[in-house]
């Protein structure tokens, strides 16, 4: 298959980029599950954007930089904040419907942790669903976009596949597309393209408890790392403070907007504890709230804390949070009358494949956008609801230089080989893959979670090394399969998180270590791999 553009992933980032390119180029969009199965579709709180007269870009810039704990790239923050409102308006022009005051007045703007103003544009508590479905409708109607659902990108095609040695220290690599597994048939297609866009989202699944859906296995970062792209800041894994604690709920998110509307965190003795940790209380940035909850749970030996919004009028709760209300009710919790049991869960990858201000990676012909990318916006901690915004802004910005690259620089070398499956067999016991996935998630949660230490990281490194060796041996001997590739990618991403965490000898933003509990100016730089 050859197209001008290959987009891998169908969340806000991939769909937006496909639409930007499709009026000028042929686009293949591959996605490993159904088109709308993406982190994007689960986003609740909304999109942070300066839309109100009494708000100002400078404030949003400041809030983003404060949350990022000294590691945000201020130029990038300026770009995102200043271009964001126009991107949100374009979404509305495409048909996205956001909540308005009294049904048809001005936009209702919500509040979330770390924001100094109400600036969260939202569709009740199902903003991601609204964004995803608005974009999917456009993509499916565009004659120049060919969507391949249930197609799994296995690896990027680079000079390495032409038999040329690429040094990790001085990589000068071009990307010519990707090998893509058609899941229904087991066929691996050679999908070539002038421009390849990674929009594969994050990696929450490397942890045992995560708000992310099953597709979030860090494939993009792992593929890019294998292709020798520059990867940065992977130690900054964001834990959302409030996922529903219930044996059957699978870390369902309770939006930060619940705290924005007055929700209060209490321990099991009924005591409000956040003011002891931060003057901003429940609306402190996420790293602080998640660490405070972790501290309460450890000190008190309890399994969860309570998030209580039941003091607000029941009708207002049901209107603003219909998804959360209905879901909690399914588990027997009426949030208008009782507090919600919550714990922190892995939520967002702040680091990723390093890009410039137009989404270009260190590999020619390879772009990255959305959660897979490390643009410099988030620094050491992402401000709430800045992520959908980042995807919209960078997918828009990437299009003009990508079109120019197509015109001036892109080429398809001779001799790109098809996927080589010789010497491999049908994988034997699938249970080996599921056991290793389970073990990896436990290691990452136990040793590389909210609080880290040198000893824990060393232990995690040793355990993941063993999993790596076993999985590589299995991979080399087996026909390619999605579960095995995902496991391999999750191990690669875990390795990157551990290595970045080991490199950072300080505590900053989301990276907190008992051995270096304070930030150090000398360490105030991105961690590069
Ligand atoms: P995704 O939306 O995750 O899309 C990635 C796509 O890549 C998927 O289609 C996936 O199937 C595909 N893919 C992955 N690997 C492969 C592969 N190997 N081959 C083919 N396809 C592949 N952010 C906000 O700004 N505001 C919010 O309110 C908010 N709420 C959130 C609530 C929840 C529960 C979660 C999980 C996240 C939330 N976030 C929020 C974060 C935000 O949703 C994500 O960061 C953002 O949607 C990422 O968009 P994306 O397009 O980069 O990736
Ligand atoms: C939430 O609704 O709390 C999630 C917001 C985000 O992750 O940005």
Ligand 2 near 387 CB (within 6 A)? yes
**E strand map for 328-427:** 340-349, 352-354, 366-368, 373-374
Which one is predicted more confidently, 102 or 68? 68
CATH code assigned at 461: 1.20.58.100
Q: Which of 294, 321, 345 is the last residue of a domain?
A: 345
DSSP H helical ranges for 448-481: 454-477
Name the strand (E) or helix (H) holding 115.
none
Residue of 111, 119, 286, 463 marked catalytic: 286
The answer to whether 208 and 441 are in contact (CB under 8 A) is: yes
| Domain shared by 50 and 98, yes or no | yes
The answer to whether 376 and 267 are in contact (CB under 8 A) is: no
The mean per-residue pLDDT over the stretch 150-158 comes to: 98
The answer to whether 223 and 173 are in contact (CB under 8 A) is: no
* Percentage with pLDDT > 90 across the chain: 93
DSSP H helical ranges for 160-285: 219-226, 256-260, 274-277
pLDDT tops 80 at residue 468: yes
Q: Please give the Cα distance from 139 to 150 (Å, whole number).
A: 16
Token pair listed for 304: 């969860």
CA of 402 to the centre of ligand 2 (A): 30
Token pair listed for 201: 């989202």
pLDDT, residue 102, reads: 86
Ligand number with the minimum distance to the CA of 383? 2
| Residue-range definition of the domain harbouring residue 34 | 2-235+350-408
CA of 361 to the centre of ligand 2 (A): 27
CA of 253 to the centre of ligand 1 (A): 14
| Domain shared by 265 and 182, yes or no | no
Ligand 1 near 38 CB (within 6 A)? yes
Which one is predicted more confidently, 82 or 164? 82
pLDDT, residue 161, reads: 93
The answer to whether 416 and 41 are in contact (CB under 8 A) is: no
The residue assigned the tokens 């828009």 is: 396
CATH code assigned at 200: 3.50.50.60
| Domain shared by 187 and 47, yes or no | yes
Q: Please give the Cα distance from 60 to 386 (Å, whole number).
A: 10
| Domain shared by 231 and 246, yes or no | no
The answer to whether 320 and 44 are in contact (CB under 8 A) is: no
Q: Please give the Cα distance from 204 to 352 (Å, whole number).
A: 13
| Domain shared by 513 and 390, yes or no | no
Q: How many domains does the chain have?
A: 3
| Domain shared by 144 and 202, yes or no | yes
The mean per-residue pLDDT over the stretch 340-368 comes to: 98
DSSP H helical ranges for 95-243: 127-141, 219-226
Residue 528 covered by a domain: no
pLDDT, residue 232, reads: 98
Residue whose CA is at the smallest distance from ligand 1 atom 6: 9
Residue 255 covered by a domain: yes
Read off the pLDDT band of 430 (50, 70, 90).
confident
The residues, any chain, with a CB within 8 Å of residue 3's CB and separated by 6 or more, are 25, 26, 27, 28, 146, 191, 192, 193
Measure CA of the first residue to CA of the last residue in the chain; give whole Å: 32
| Domain shared by 118 and 211, yes or no | yes
Active site residue 286: yes
| Domain shared by 48 and 194, yes or no | yes
Name the strand (E) or helix (H) holding 143.
none
The mean per-residue pLDDT over the stretch 231-257 comes to: 95
| Domain shared by 384 and 486, yes or no | no
Out of 44, 49, 127, mutate this one to test ligand 2's pocket (max ligand atoms within 8 Å of CB): namely: 44
The mean per-residue pLDDT over the stretch 160-183 comes to: 89
The mean per-residue pLDDT over the stretch 306-315 comes to: 98
Residue 224 covered by a domain: yes
Q: Which of 345, 374, 399 is the last residue of a domain?
A: 345
Residue 414 covered by a domain: no
Read off the pLDDT band of 432 (50, 70, 90).
confident
| pTM attached to this predicted model | 0.97
Residue 425 covered by a domain: no
Residue whose CA is at the smallest distance from ligand 1 atom 32: 43
The mean per-residue pLDDT over the stretch 62-79 comes to: 97
| Domain shared by 246 and 331, yes or no | yes
Measured from the Cβ of residue 462, the count of other Cβ atoms closer than 10 Å reads 11
Residue 420 covered by a domain: no
Closest atom of ligand 1 relative to the 369 alpha carbon: 52
| Domain shared by 214 and 292, yes or no | no
What's phi and psi for 46, nearest 5 deg? 145, -155
pLDDT, residue 103, reads: 81
Residue 424 covered by a domain: no
Q: Which of 408, 440, 456 is the last residue of a domain?
A: 408
CATH code assigned at 259: 3.90.700.10
Name the strand (E) or helix (H) holding 445.
helix 430-447
Residue 416 covered by a domain: no
Residue whose CA is at the smallest distance from ligand 2 atom 8: 385
| Domain shared by 307 and 379, yes or no | no
């Amino acid at each position: 298959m050859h197209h001008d553009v290959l987009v891998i992933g169908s969340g806000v980032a991939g769909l937006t980029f496909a639409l930007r390119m499709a009026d000028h180029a042929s686009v293949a969009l591959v996605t490993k599950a159904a088109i709308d199965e993406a982190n994007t579709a689960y986003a609740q709180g909304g999109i942070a954007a300066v839309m109100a007269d009494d708000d100002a870009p400078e404030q949003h810039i400041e809030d983003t930089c404060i949350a990022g704990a000294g590691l945000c790239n201020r130029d990038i923050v300026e770009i995102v904040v200043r271009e964001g409102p126009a991107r949100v308006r374009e979404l509305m022009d495409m048909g996205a419907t956001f909540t308005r005051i009294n049904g048809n007045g001005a936009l209702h703007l919500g509040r979330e942790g770390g924001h100094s103003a109400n600036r969260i544009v939202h569709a009740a508590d199902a903003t991601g669903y609204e964004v995803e479905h608005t974009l999917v409708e456009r993509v499916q109607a565009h004659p120049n976009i060919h969507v391949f659902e249930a197609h799994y990108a296995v690896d990027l095609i680079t000079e390495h596949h032409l038999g040329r040695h690429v040094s990790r220290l001085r990589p000068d690599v071009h990307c010519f597309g990707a090998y893509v597994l058609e899941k229904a048939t087991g066929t691996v297609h050679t999908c070539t393209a002038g421009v390849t866009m990674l929009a594969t989202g994050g990696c929450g699944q490397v942890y045992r408890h995560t708000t992310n859906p099953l597709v979030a296995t860090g494939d993009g970062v792992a593929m890019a790392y294998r292709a020798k792209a520059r990867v940065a800041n992977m130690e900054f894994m964001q834990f959302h403070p409030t996922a529903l604690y219930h044996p059957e709920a699978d870390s369902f998110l309770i939006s930060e907007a619940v705290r924005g509307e007055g929700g209060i965190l209490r321990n099991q003795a009924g005591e409000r504890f956040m003011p002891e940790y931060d003057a901003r209380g429940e609306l402190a940035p996420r790293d602080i709230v998640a660490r405070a909850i972790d501290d309460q749970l450890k000190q008190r030996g309890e399994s969860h804390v309570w998030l209580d919004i039941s003091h607000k009028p029941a009708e207002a709760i049901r209107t603003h949070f219909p998804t959360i209300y209905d879901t909690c009710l399914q588990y027997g919790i009426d949030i208008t009358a009782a507090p919600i049991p919550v714990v922190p869960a892995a939520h967002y990858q702040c680091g990723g494949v390093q890009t410039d201000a137009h989404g270009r990676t260190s590999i020619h012909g390879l772009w990255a956008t959305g959660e897979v990318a490390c643009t410099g916006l988030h620094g050491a901690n992402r401000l709430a609801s800045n992520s959908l915004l980042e995807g919209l802004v960078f997918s828009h910005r990437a299009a003009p230089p990508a079109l120019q690259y197509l015109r001036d620089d892109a080429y398809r070398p001779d001799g790109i080989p098809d996927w080589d499956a010789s010497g491999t067999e049908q994988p034997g016991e699938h249970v080996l893959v599921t056991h290793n996935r389970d073990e990896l998630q436990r290691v990452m949660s136990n040793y590389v979670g909210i609080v880290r230490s040198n000893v824990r990281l060393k232990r995690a490194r040793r355990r993941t090394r063993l999993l790596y060796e076993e999985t590589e041996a299995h991979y080399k001997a087996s026909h390619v399969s999605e579960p095995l590739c995902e496991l391999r990618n999750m191990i690669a991403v875990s390795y990157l998180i551990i290595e970045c965490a080991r490199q950072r000898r300080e505590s900053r933003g989301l990276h907190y270590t008992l051995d270096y509990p304070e930030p150090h100016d000398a360490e105030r730089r991105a961690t590069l791999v």
